[in-house]
Amino acid sequence: MNDLIISKKKPSYPITEKLDAYLAEYNRNIKLPIFYDDLLRFQGSIVVYDKEDNDTLWIRVYYNDYEREEIEYALKKVYTILHSDGNENTFPFLSVDAIDYCTFGNSKPFRIKVRNILNDNFTYFYIKRADASRIYGLELEHMLSPYNLNFLVYRDTLIEEHIAGIPGDEFIKKFLPKCDKSEKSQIAKEFVKFNERCMIRLLGDMRSYNYVIVPTHDFDHVVYKIRAIDFDQQSYEGKFNIYRPQFFKENLKMVELVSETFQKLSIDQYKIEERSILVKRLKSYHNRIGTLLECMEDDVISKEENIKLLKSKIYDYTLDVGFKKCKSMGNILKKSLEYLTHNYENVNPLKFK
């Protein structure tokens, strides 16, 4: 398997007025008491290791006493806005246990751990620089995947809730070999569907550490689902295969599992199932996703050469001449979704405004 090369440093694209208005309309744009840059003023840090003493590529940061008090207050406020109504009555029961900074990747996020001191329950959320590509990715995931996403944007700062699950690379290494035949068959099916969904909605770079496996106990067995956790590469790259997880070497074990488990007929069946459910989700969010695509069509979220390459590759894949007329990544995604509905909806295909 030839490894795909991802752009080493994808630029961060600003939020346009049109996208900002969209976010405000759907309650994503809310005034926040802290910005990403505020957290960069840390005074020191230590490396965070996992349980096996491996470097996690996160560092735990510290602030001087005066700033620490102010920052913790603001982070508690963000937590209550994200998960509740912003009420400060719970502040005495909340503790900001850790502020971690990731030194790896494009977004360089901060991970905030908030604990309820009454019962020791804790959760995480992330603070990142707001990037239009990522915001489009989050919104599309919210509407086109089986999962709802909770995030907030204010000026150049993005707040994301934590997506729980076992990192794909860790699952493949430690848990997949222990799964029985039935569980492996289920995981293979989910990977086929996940692969198809990423390709259709143009979510790139789904290497194994950019998605999680979510096990859920259901009666006498465990159900496994696959969720994307990184949306930085939404509609940016020009190589079509970057939007298809099956072509990353990090996913080779999953690809082999699919090949060993299913015949082509079954794989095609699961692809059709995923396309059909995507059409149903498109119908449910028709007006909202149409508005988002309008923003995306007018936005600059990639390089001109990437747009030209991607539309030519998708034309080769679909033989639909409409892709040749696309002038932006938003155009390409809109055409992709219209192509999907035209081919997999039983009634009149959707037309976005």
Output the domain CATH number for residue 291. 1.10.1070
Query: How many separate helices (H) and strands (E) can be counted in the chain?
Result: 11, 10
Q: What is the pLDDT of residues 104-148, one digit of tens each?
A: 777 899 999 999 999 999 999 999 999 999 999 999 999 999 999
C-alpha dihedral (123, 128, 133, 134), degrees to nearest 10: 0
Residue 11 lies in a domain: no
Residue 353 lies in a domain: no
Residues 87, 195 within the same domain: no
Residue 127 lies in a domain: yes
- pTM of the predicted model as reported, rounded to 2 decimal places: 0.93
Q: What is the pLDDT of residues 244-286, one digit of tens each?
A: 999 999 999 999 999 999 999 999 999 999 999 999 999 999 9
Final residue belonging to a domain, choices 161, 190, 225 = 161
DSSP symbol at 175: I
> 104-108, 168-172, 185-189, 267-271: lowest mean pLDDT where?
104-108
Total domains in the fold of the chain: 2
Residue type, 77: K
Q: Which two tokens stand for residue 71?
A: 């920052």
Contacts 24+ apart (CB under 8 A), 6-10: 6/204, 6/205, 6/233, 6/237, 6/242, 7/236, 7/237, 9/106, 10/106, 10/133, 10/232, 10/233, 10/236
Residue 1 lies in a domain: no
Residue 22 lies in a domain: yes
Residues 211, 313 within the same domain: yes
* pLDDT at residue 347, rounded to an integer: 44
Residue 3 lies in a domain: no
Distance CA 111, CA 322 (A): 42
Residue 204 lies in a domain: yes
Residue 27's φ and ψ, nearest 5 degrees, are: 60, 35
- Tell me the mean pLDDT in the region 62-84: 95
Residue 156 structural domain: 17-161
- Longest Cα separation, the chain: 64
Residue 350 lies in a domain: no
Residues 284, 139 within the same domain: no
Residues 60, 123 within the same domain: yes
Sheet containing 166-167: order of strands? 166-167, 211-218, 221-228
Residues 198, 130 within the same domain: no
Residues 259, 189 within the same domain: yes
* pLDDT at residue 7, rounded to an integer: 65
